[in-house]
Amino acid sequence: MRPRLVEWLDALLGTTAYAWLVPSPGVVYAAAILAVVVLLVRRGAAVGLDRYHLLGMSLWAILGGMVGARAFYLWQHLAATLADPAQVLDVTGGTASWGAYMGSLAGLLLYAGRYHLPVGPYADVAASVAGLGIAIGRWSCFLNGDDFGAVATLPWAVRFPHASMPFVAQVQAGQLDPLTDLSLPVHPVQLYLSANGLLLFGSATHAWRRLRAHPGATFCLYWLCYDVTRFGWEFLRADQVLVLDDHLTVPQVMAIITVVPALWGLWRSLHVGRVPVEIAVP
């Protein structure tokens, strides 16, 4: 998608500048990480959390997310991984969002354990900004053409360029002539997920301002909302391998697995003793 956007904009305005102005997927991911870390540190410091530990925890979460995203992808493609073990060392290979989330959480927990920090308040402020990372990062998927949706006839359906991931998948499925220029129109699921991330960001921010007396509540509520919404959006995907007798995608299975601890954690955090809160949230 990005090459086609650059080509169209350059032709429209008679310039070659858009190859520099339209961000690459890597730049979008970097922007998402930067935005989340800056806001996390600002919010956390405003409510009395240690700025040094906020930055340290962010670094551990980023590294954990990178490792987890790649590891989860390799696990999802285990047969190909075993056939070519060298791809384990390919840091530019495919990734999976659920692995990034699990890896980031592991990094946060490991850091908190290493420095004997209370997990709840740090996890809550992280959850309050996590949706912003999704809202920005999913534009990378759109520009790259991955995580694409099922064929659709809606006015906002998107056609991806020749040789893109949706195009190749439709050719392999016998839906499309390989000599055509564009894919069949599909749901822009990447943009749906981006909008969903923005909604989660707003909701979690609202919850954090009101539930800080219950450490862990915002984190568990965010995770619960993410599970429910992600489960629903997956029905519009066309790039996921179905499991469990071809009924569910792997992200849907992960949502089902994690919704129970999210519910339990929310109930527990709302029923433990309140913590005094005096600092206003920005």
Could you read off the pLDDT of 32-62 as tens digits, one per residue?
Answer: 999 999 999 999 999 999 999 999 999 999 9
Give strand pairing partners of 161.
182
Q: Which tokens go with 183?
A: 């894919």
Q: Is residue 180 part of a domain?
A: no
CB 53 within 8 A of CB 122: yes
With a cut of 60, say whether residue 97 has pLDDT above it: yes
Q: Is residue 20 part of a domain?
A: no
Contacts 24+ apart (CB under 8 A), 161-167: 161/1, 161/3, 161/4, 164/1, 165/239, 166/238, 166/239
Give the model confidence (pLDDT) of 248-269 as tens digits.
999 999 999 999 999 999 999 9
Q: What is the pTM of this model?
A: 0.87
Q: Is residue 279 part of a domain?
A: no
Q: Is residue 18 part of a domain?
A: no
Give the model confidence (pLDDT) of 139-193 as tens digits.
999 888 888 999 999 999 998 888 888 899 999 999 999 999 889 999 999 999 9
Q: Is residue 228 part of a domain?
A: yes
Q: Is residue 153 part of a domain?
A: no
**Average pLDDT score, the chain:** 87
How many Cβ atoms are within 10 Å of 102's Cβ, its own excluded?
19
Of all residues in the chain, what percent carry a pLDDT higher than 70?
A: 88
With a cut of 90, say whether residue 69 has pLDDT above it: yes
**pLDDT score for 214:** 94
**pLDDT score for 278:** 43
With a cut of 90, say whether residue 86 has pLDDT above it: no
Domain that holds residue 78: 25-147+201-271
Q: Is residue 218 part of a domain?
A: yes
How many structural domains are present in the chain?
1
CB hemisphere CA count around 152 (13 angstroms): 19
**pLDDT score for 5:** 52
Q: Is residue 85 part of a domain?
A: yes
Higher pLDDT, 92 or 27: 27
What gap in Å lies between CA 18 and CA 10, rounded to an integer? 6
